[in-house]
Amino acid sequence: MPRTFCIPERYSSDLLGYLKQRRGELDPRKKDKSPTVLPLGELTLKFARHFGFCFGVENAIEIAYRAVSENPGKRIFLLSEMIHNPHVNDDLRSRGVEFLFTTYGEECIPLEEVTANDVVIIPAFGTTREMFQKLEEKGVDIVRYNTTCPFVEKVWKRGAQLGAKGFAIIIHGKARHEETRATFSHISKNAPSLIIADTEEAHWLSRFIRGQETLSAFHEKFSGRFSESFVPERDLLRLGVVNQTTMLASETRDISRILRDALLERFGESSIQEHFSDTRDTLCYATSENQEATQALIQSGGDVSLVVGGYNSSNTSHLVELCEEHFPSYFVKGPEDLLSVDTIRHLSLDRWELSESSPWFPEPSSYRPVEVVITSGASCPDALVQAVVQRLLELRKIPFQRFVEGVERSLQQLERVHDSGVPSVPSPFLTQIGGE
């Protein structure tokens, strides 16, 4: 039985929650990655099998709101954005929660202002050892409202274990992201550590391992991204790879393969285990599920995609990257980005700026409906996804009731496909919501 969390209702969508719950009941082992397809006449909506809040985000939200309710009258600080979703962060701000740092570590409120009487919430990404130490020295309770995700801590522990065995650690992540800074801080205490961004940098390291790159070039390329203890000519010969948990898991696997191949070439199969440690089990299951479900969604085809999430959300941007390769894709943070039937505002990842596109919606044809692919990042509430759908239907002049009925029909179809013996339960929505 998966753990359930107490999160504010305003983040939930009864309808999408029902959809997810039924799909979970029909497929408890999560083998079926196929999307949920809702034909609604002139358009068809296709939802990824997995989307939205992950375990770590729900855990963090539960703890953060508990911190607010348990401490009336106290100053409550978040070290930085709890998760990368502006709606959630704004709501916490409106309840008096103050942010000490920006996502990139710039100070918003001087740390000197924090006292032992204050409450400090550690975000889901965790924080650095140095920050834990500073807060502890002030007498702040760093345990009670620590929302660091257990899957991030698992990465830290594995890094420490490998360091004790003499391995260095390659961290696949964005050097400025708070999770990567935290992971680097924790792991580099126990193991020489290096942050790399992508497969291009892994290929560069593989050339270094093969003796085709120089030490000075290494220092120039990776300046500021390796620990003091990192000695490239020694440490690149005995490696484990972990990641910022929201990176593309497939890219982390590619990085591992590239480095392993270089070590294999140099040392041979018989001694590869002394030079490369398999760390695949540290990849976050929730990130992998969302990314694999998005791949399945893409394979099922579509005309246009909407990916919902905070613009600074790393995992959401990776979902957008996956979709962009296949169809026009729009990274929106909520219904307000669907400006009109013709115009959409979205984050353009290649230029990293807000853009407006017009026209953005493919013209419906008399031959087949327009297929709209929908997914969302791990920090995006289902309520926002539903609001985006509602806005889209409103713009296309499609009654919301048709969406409600589409969910039910689609689930019945899936029940037949799964032939699971799970009895078909009457939808709580068809009776709740009036006709067209």
Which member of 378, 385, 392, 411 binds ligand SF4 (CB under 6 A)?
378
The span from the CA of 297 to the CA of 97, in Å, is: 38
Q: Report the nearest approach of ligand SF4 to the CB of residue 378 (Å).
A: 5
103/300 with CB nearer ligand SF4: 103
Q: Report the nearest approach of ligand SF4 to the CB of residue 116 (Å).
A: 28
55/132 with CB nearer ligand SF4: 55
DSSP one-letter code for 9 = G
Please answer whether residues 173 and 198 qualify as being in contact, where contact means their C-beta atoms are separated by less than 8 angstroms.
no
Which member of 246, 294, 376, 410 binds ligand SF4 (CB under 6 A)?
246
152/393 with CB nearer ligand SF4: 152
Site for ligand SF4 in 279-338 (CB under 6 A): 284, 286-287
3/29 with CB nearer ligand SF4: 3
Please answer whether residues 283 and 315 qualify as being in contact, where contact means their C-beta atoms are separated by less than 8 angstroms.
no
| Residues paired with residue 196 on neighbouring β-strands, in sequence order | 172
3-class secondary structure per residue, 333-381: CCHHHCCCCCCEEEEECCCCEEEEECCCCCCCCCCCCEEEEEEECCCCC
206/314 with CB nearer ligand SF4: 314
Of 17, 4, 91, the residue nearest 55 (C-alpha)? 4
Tokens of 340: 């009109």
Q: Is 325 a catalytic residue?
A: no
Which member of 151, 276, 311, 361 binds ligand SF4 (CB under 6 A)?
151
Q: By beta-carbon distance, which residue lies closest to ligand SF4?
A: 56
Q: Is 129 helix (H, G, I), strand (E, B) or coil?
A: helix
To the nearest 10°, report the CA torsion of 427, 364, 316, 28. 30
| Residues paired with residue 346 on neighbouring β-strands, in sequence order | 355
Residues 194-233: x/- map of binding to ligand SF4 (CB under 6 A)? ----------------------------------------
**Catalytic machinery residues:** 179
Please report, as ranges, the residues that interact with ligand SF4 according to CB under 6 A.
54-57, 124, 149, 151-152, 245-246, 284, 286-287, 378
